Amino acid sequence: MPAEKNTYDLLKLILNLLLIGLLIILTYRVVEAFLFGFFWAVMVVITTWPLMINIQQRLFNKRWLSLLVMTLILSLVCVIPFFLIISSVAQNGHYLIEWAKTLQSKELPTFDWLNNIPMFGTELHQKWLELIKTDGSDLITSIQPYIGTVIGWLLEQATNIGLFIFHGGVMIIFSLLLFLKGESITKYVYLFANRLSKQYGATTVTLAGQSIRAVALGVVVTAITLALIGGLSFILTNMPFPGILTLILFICCVAQIGPVIVMLGCIIWQFWDGHTTSGIILIVVAVVLTTLDSVMRAFLIKKGADLPFLLILFGVIGGLLGFGIMGLFIGPVVLALAYKLIQTWINEQS
């Protein structure tokens, strides 16, 4: 009899585990479409919670008024990049039109300076001369097999833009819910963490919040500051497509590539077009941005959390490569938690 009872209990345990696993899988499939927007909202709320509380105190301590202000701010943050792209194309589209008219009315340039490039310059110049002699017909023939691939890529990018807009809307909705019930949700998160580990639960949650805020302050705020300064310099020097260039500069700063590549391209364009003064101005701005990128990011990360700068940097880069844009926050949080837990465990043994 005891053996039969043990067999029955084992079978019951296996069935319970299977049902729980099935429930987890089904739940994940249901909420999968909203996970990116939800995690994005969590990052935004953790980072901007002090700002929301400050706004609430200034608006007669009314939470719903502060929610309206935060909704406006988040909406602008999501809308402004697309507005910059559209307005930049609309304002500077005449450059492309004039360039196209120039190509139609004049012969293509021979680019004789290509001969000065060592090793492969002469061959490259010869290929270009052969190309323009055939009016580009050989080039069109050679790229025809790839036209379908290019169209597919463009459709994929259009789909990605649509998904980004969808996730942005989900982020705003979840952010408002988290702002509204922030204190209660924080309490339940700490209770859940304590259930998992009474020793490290609360510390882990606190460290995760500090890491997220440190990355947001050090990476995102720095990128926004550099993009604004760079964008103003593009407008002052009459760069074409300043909105798109500003957006690319922001993305490069977030991805830890830095402002050098974008600024260098703009400097070369200004000197190439004969605008020496504008080129010198952009050189000065590039030096300022490069210095700010290093100093400001390190200072803000240290202010947000007492973590090694290299740890955050590797977390940002590794997370970005492994998980996409959301890895910008996931990577540093995971490394910070692992670092602090290992450090605490070693200190306890000593």
By CB neighbour count within 10 A (0-12 exposed, 13-18 middle, 19+ buried), where does 281 fall?
middle
- Quick check: 136 pLDDT over 60? no
> Taking 60 as the threshold, does the pLDDT of residue 51 lie above it?
yes
The residues, any chain, with a CB within 8 Å of residue 70's CB and separated by 6 or more, are: 48, 51, 52, 55, 175, 176, 179
Residues 169 and 217 in one domain: no
Domain-located, residue 349: no
Please give the single-letter amino acid code of residue 237. Answer: T
Residues 210 and 327 in one domain: yes
Residues 142, 256 within the same domain: no
For 5-48, the pLDDT digits (tens) are 555 578 888 999 999 999 999 999 999 889 888 988 888 898 88
Mean pLDDT of the chain: 79
Contact predicate 284/316, CB 8 Å:
no
Residue 323 confidence (pLDDT) above 90: no
Query: Do 247 and 149 fall within a single domain?
Result: no
Read off the pLDDT of residues 52-104 as tens digits, 9 standing for 90 and up. 999 999 998 999 999 999 988 888 776 666 666 656 556 655 555 665 555 55
Pair (2, 113) in one structural domain:
yes
The pLDDT, as a whole number, for residue 1 is 47
271 in any annotated domain: yes
Least confident span in 108-122, 158-172, 189-203, 258-272: 108-122
Q: Domain count of the chain?
A: 2
What integer pLDDT is reported at residue 190 of this predicted model? 92
Torsion sign over Cα 236, 240, 246, 252:
negative
Secondary structure, 3-state, 54-73: HHHHHCCCCHHHHHHHHHHH
